[in-house]
Chain A
């Protein structure tokens, strides 16, 4: 018993933080219908501001006021007023991508403002971290832990008193239980909604400030993990019940530490499984709780059907223009190819070859999300599986790298079939979260073994060789990547134009109707997940061979989110979209490399904000601009006098 307690008690502070976040998530999801994935970033924002204030010599109460009482609600309100408010009844993909954009942009924006240096030993909110207050079951309780628990209890007590005895509190509670009823009762639900956003953002800020000192360094990534833990806790309450979400959070924190205590220490299991527990719990909950599934599948609050992508640039100008645009595309490709082989400097050829590998990975997102309407947030994990499979096979069995790349794709496809299983039962948001959790599991556990990604040291993949043909030179490898990309693009195009592609488009439009005309959705989903995973795997293996050495960090779960945002921003409905995304991704990165290092943060900010444009331009910015140009040209041809 003493041992049990001594393992369980250190889990309480984590549990408290999870619980605060879970409650905040449920509050906003229930009342606004937006699943606020940027919530982790909000927590990070407050933690960072608190750190900066305290480091500048402010007393911690002043830092608390600035970070949690002022900044957190302001940030939350800004997001609600300028973004979420407008997309409440938008399709799941729009809501999700907008929130993802925020999740990616906010930390970078903060680092651009406050600098991106290492931030060690985050300060404790209240009691000093190194003084021990008392012992429980042999655990020394330090100031950080004690203050986390006390502050959480105080805030929860205050909030529940408020929700029972003040008018705004009562209304908030009513709204969290049934937003429609509140509207019917004639209460100004806008105002109550704002109050809820303020409260929820305050909770995020508080959780952020409380969580920070539990880690040695203040890192944005820790807050993404925190977010998933909070989602798992919220899922325990079916995303509706505040008390269940709260206790779910506490329980998760405690069980996590218990696992750490009882599992053999030092093994990958204990170091990997402990942090991975929330993701595993989330996957299991999503699959197991029928209520949750139905809720997310059928009545995503105020859901609508997918926005019809506006006509593609080619479709507007009539047939001749379509040919012209297609011809133009080929011409650009040819010029690009020849340039890379002739005058482009070596480091840029390398960058562009990276772009080709990314384009292959991005094709998988076009196939899955653009063509089939399935939201997968673990494509980087599939790329990693491809790369690590290739590396291990090549180094252990001495097979050709070409075979290794193909095998990487094949193994990724098999895993893709496994990941497709939840997709058979889940849709929309639930599928997105399940795949996100899978990505985190792969990243934190799967890739850490010596036989897979080999942790931080990574694995080596040589450049391929074919008889006397050697692909070690940059230009030769470029040609190889180019050919591989064309082949992969051809596969996606063939699927799109064939029966499968039509069925996929039907499934994206309406699963119900697609099934009612005899489409076997299960088979279709498994197929498309497998093919997409194979594409990502091939792209990942190619990328690995280009780099020479790859580690799990090259395919971490956060990258999956970035990939999704990048592709959706540039154009998720077309094969060209994937290639444009791959190129834009590396070129922008390379260009920012010439600027001072602080400016590197512009990269996620640009794509994060770009993601927000998806709500307005689901066809992607590139397609949107092309269309504008075409419209101007066509308008000018028809009415030359009208322009200029």
Chain B
């Protein structure tokens, strides 16, 4: 059984059909790409999978359970983590604090009364958070304000924030956009290491095809809201339909 399985997903914004009868299935521990031209509906598919937007049609199952009616936070607690195309960071917090919040929410013991009697305070550094900071190479900047960090660090913080929660599925929305080549290569290496260590399943949206090829086993191709191909990256890229849609080639 696939870890996550979306069937017949459709989503419209007013008159625009952003997703039209799209189906995806990802197994446990599998890394899958999702490529397609601008406006193809990739971010919309992410939004539907993690609950930011409701489906117009179709269904989504996670570990065999229907989740398409659940709220974002409920899906997050089931094990769907996510990063954002446009960085969504918490202003005024350091990278360590980003991870700490995620860790505490994950532990889900945040009750108001505990805070009021002083039981909810941050105590000793949390080992998981510290390990992750080192693993992602964020330990040097762990206490800097997030605003002073580079875009590349911002992407890593988002990744770390999702990883603290031990997600079963990680949705990565264009992690290399805004990064320079060196940072992008570094990020791909971090992703590979993350996968090697914890077998997290991933769905990776990416325009940088080298990046995709380095990280994933197979990929989906989305164009104008329709799934037009899926398979191994090199095979898919050789497909004339994909070449026409994605690379704008006229044959």
Is B105 positioned at the interface, with any CB of A under 8 Å from its CB? yes
* Contact residues, A282-325 vs B (CB, 8 A): 305-309, 311
- A505–B84 contact, CB under 8 A? no
CB contacts (< 8 Å) of A509 on chain B: these are 88-93
A311 contacts across to B, CB distance below 8 A? 145
Can you name 16 A-B pairs with beta carbons within 8 Å?
A307-B91, A308-B92, A308-B147, A494-B116, A498-B118, A498-B119, A499-B105, A499-B110, A499-B120, A502-B101, A505-B92, A506-B90, A509-B88, A516-B72, A516-B88, A518-B73
| CB-defined contacts of A588 to chain B, threshold 8 Å | none
* A307→B145 CA distance, assembly (Å): 13
**Is the CB–CB distance between A517 and B91 below 8 Å?**
no
Within 8 A of B (CB), among A501-524: 501-503, 505-506, 508-510, 512-522
Closest residue to A520 on the B side, CB-wise? B73
- With A510-B88, A519-B105 as given contacts, are A527 and B165 in contact (CB-CB < 8 Å)? no
B115 within 8 A of partner (CB): yes
B97 within 8 A of A: yes
Complexed CA–CA distance, A502 and B164 (Å): 16
Taking A497-B120, A499-B114, A509-B88 as given, write out 10 further A-B residue pairs in contact, using a Cβ cutoff of 8 Å, ordered by the A residue number.
A306-B91, A308-B147, A494-B116, A500-B112, A502-B101, A502-B104, A515-B73, A516-B72, A518-B77, A519-B73
Q: Given A307-B91, A308-B91, A309-B92, check contact A518 B115 (CB 8 Å).
A: no
Residues of A within 8 A of B158 (CB): 513
Shortest CB-to-CB span from B91 to chain A, Å, is 5
Selected from A498, A500, A508, A518, the residue in CB contact (under 8 A) with B106 is A518
The reply to whether B89 and A510 form a contact with Cβ atoms under 8 Å apart is yes
List A residues at the B interface (Cβ < 8 Å).
Answer: 305-309, 311, 491, 494-495, 497-503, 505-506, 508-510, 512-522, 527, 531
Residues of B within 8 A of A309 (CB): 91-92
**Residues in A whose Cβ lies below 8 Å from that of B97:** 502
Given known contacts A500-B120, A527-B112, is B82 in contact with A516 (CB within 8 Å)? yes
Q: Which residues of A contact B121 (CB under 8 A)?
A: 497-498
Residues of B within 8 A of A (CB-CB), count: 45
Q: Closest residue of chain B to A523, judged by CB?
A: B73
Residue B161 is within 8 A (CB to CB) of chain A in the complex: yes
Cα distance A276–B65 when bound, in Å? Answer: 48
Chain B residue, CB-CB nearest to A501? B115
Contact of A497 among B92, B115, B145, B146 (CB under 8 A): B115
* Cβ proximity bits B137-176 to A, threshold 8 Å, 1 near / 0 not: 0000000011100000000001001100100000000000
Identify A499's interface contact among B76, B93, B109, B146, CB under 8 A. Answer: B109
Q: How far is the CA of A531 from the CA of B112 in the complex (A)?
A: 10
Within 8 Å of chain A (Cβ to Cβ): is B189? no
Q: Are A517 and B145 in contact (CB-based, < 8 A)?
A: no
Chain A residues with CB under 8 Å of B52's CB are 512, 515-516
Q: Are A518 and B76 in contact (CB under 8 A)?
A: yes
Q: Are B120 and A498 in contact (CB under 8 A)?
A: yes
Whether the Cβ atoms of B162 and A517 lie closer than 8 Å is yes
- Asked if B122 is at the interface (CB within 8 A of a chain A CB), the reply is yes
* Bound form: Cα–Cα A143–B52 in Å: 56
**For residue B100, which residue of chain A has the nearest CB?**
A502
Collect the chain A residues with CB atoms within 8 Å of residue B118's CB.
Answer: 494, 498
A494-B145 contact, Cβ under 8 Å, with A512-B88, A515-B73, A517-B106? no
In the docked arrangement, what's the CA distance between A498 and B123, Å?
A: 10
